[in-house]
Amino acid sequence: MKLKSYWHDTAPDFGAAAQGPVDGHYDVAIIGGGFTGLAAARHLAKDGVRVVVLEAERIGWGASGRNGGHLNNGLAHSFIAAKAAFGKERAVALYQAFDDSIDTIEAIIAEEEIDCNFRRAGKLKLASKPQHFDAIARNFEAVHNEVDPDTALLTATDLKDEVGSPFHGAMLSKKSAMMHMGRYVVGLATAAARHGATIFEKAAVTAHRKGNGRHSLATARGTVTADHVLVATGAYTPSVFGYFRRRIVSVGSFIIATRPLTEAEIAATMPGNRTCVTSMNIGNYFRLAPDNRLIFGGRARFSATSDQRSDAKSGDVLRASLLQIFPQLAGVEIDYCWGGLVDMTKDRYPRAGYVDGVWYAMGYSGHGAQLSTHLGMIIADAILGKTDRNPVKGLDWPAVPGHFGKPWFLPLVGLYYKTLDRFQ
């Protein structure tokens, strides 16, 4: 079993990283070489902007290369709850932003000819308990009638042709998609560089100063200056940017991938070949990879640590969960096990905008694979002074009380959600 991301291990190398010292002046400096930062860089470079990307490791190292490979449309939350929190207009705008995100990714893939196995698969929100189906049905009714008619409600009988495990029904979101995340992020970076963006890897930002209308960003490889800065680092935000670290809770998310399944095994487990997520608070998500592996993930442990030891422990938890759902895969080997950090906000809605002299987009709360490309381009347009299409503009973002970067309270959060799952 490899303790590394399947997406990293099966993607081509990025061959266009800038060499030599980190120096020079740019119109825009972007911190973070994931989907958000690279999409913004590509968009800006296409507009003739001199842009640099500073990535602490290598492109796609963080959440962009450590996720489950889902591109799910619509809100991850209850649409009914979003209306109650923000009003119908904002809830609809947020829902449609996720829909638009998948259209944006599909358009970029076509324009840049990125080979990443993109496919509109549809997503199933699976009811793990009978009472969960009631809540899913109420949410479906609101979504279907008010914002997205391209949805369906499936009964437990309907699911027999979709998933080889007993669930109590599901909501089907038909616009949802999937792709190979590693190939996409390399293709996106390659496109950004081809359009003129300068991308430095192994260039972690260690200091940030602003004076005389310019930003100065120091790295171990040198210093750049810029007129504008976009922070696109999510759960991997450096301590230099304390404002965001007090508002982002970094939570570990862990994933395993089986060996490639046979046709008979696929027919017995995932005949519908969609993206799937269960309705538990500490739930699981799964899909088939392009080479027919089952990719299976979840919050195996409430930890802010992701290293080989932590990932291996979480892999054991995930394998037990996998076998609870698909006992027919008991003899199937696990080939990959990996983890990464998710940038959670207190209310689990993303944030983007301008504060303390810098632009930012983050807080995707486990659902950034689809939104991050789109939101990166929206913030790029804002930097350019174009029409502001930010769906979360002006959303209040208070700091998490008692939180300064290390989420000491995660075990308590985990216990809370485990208790909810037991009794709800």
What digits encode the pLDDT tens for the residues 39-56?
999 999 999 999 999 999
338-371, pLDDT tens digit by residue?
Answer: 988 889 899 989 999 999 999 999 999 988 999 9
Provide the percentage of residues in the chain whose pLDDT is more than 90: 82
391 vs 71: CA distance, rounded Å: 18
336 vs 293: CA distance, rounded Å: 10
- Please check the confidence at residue 416 and state whether its pLDDT lies above 60: no
Decide if 378 contacts 389 (C-beta within 8 A).
yes
Of the candidates 68, 7, 65, 63, which has an alpha carbon nearest to the alpha carbon of residue 278?
A: 68
SS3 for 19? coil
The more confident residue out of 419 and 153 is: 153
The distance of Cα 49 from the centroid of its chain, to the nearest Å, equals 27
Give the model's confidence band at 414: pLDDT under 50 very low, under 70 low, under 90 confident, else very high.
very low
- Please check the confidence at residue 311 and state whether its pLDDT lies above 80: no
- Please check the confidence at residue 68 and state whether its pLDDT lies above 80: yes
CATH no. for 6-416: 3.50.50.60
213-268, pLDDT tens digit by residue?
Answer: 899 999 999 999 999 999 999 999 999 999 999 999 888 889 999 999 999 999 99
Partners of 153 in the β-ladder? 171
- Residue 158 has what DSSP assignment? G
101 vs 123: CA distance, rounded Å: 15
Q: How far does the chain reach from its first CA to its final CA, in angstroms?
A: 35
DSSP string computed for 91-150:
HHHHHHHHHHHHHHHHHHHHHHT--S--EE--EEEE-SSHHHHHHHHHHHHHHHHHT--S
- Please check the confidence at residue 300 and state whether its pLDDT lies above 80: no
- Please check the confidence at residue 161 and state whether its pLDDT lies above 80: yes
Q: Output the furthest CA–CA distance in the chain (Å, rounded).
A: 66
CA dihedral 277, 278, 283, 285 (to 10 degrees): -20
Give the model's confidence band at 309: pLDDT under 50 very low, under 70 low, under 90 confident, else very high.
low
Token pair of 70 as six digits: 């889902």
SS3 for 346? coil
Neighbouring residues of 275: CB distance < 8 A, sequence distance ≥ 6: 68, 69, 70, 71, 72, 121, 122, 123, 124, 176, 177, 178, 285, 286, 287
**Per-residue model confidence (pLDDT) at position 316:** 87
- Please check the confidence at residue 420 and state whether its pLDDT lies above 70: no
Over the chain, what is the mean pLDDT? Answer: 92
**Per-residue model confidence (pLDDT) at position 341:** 86
183-203, pLDDT tens digit by residue?
Answer: 999 999 999 999 999 999 999
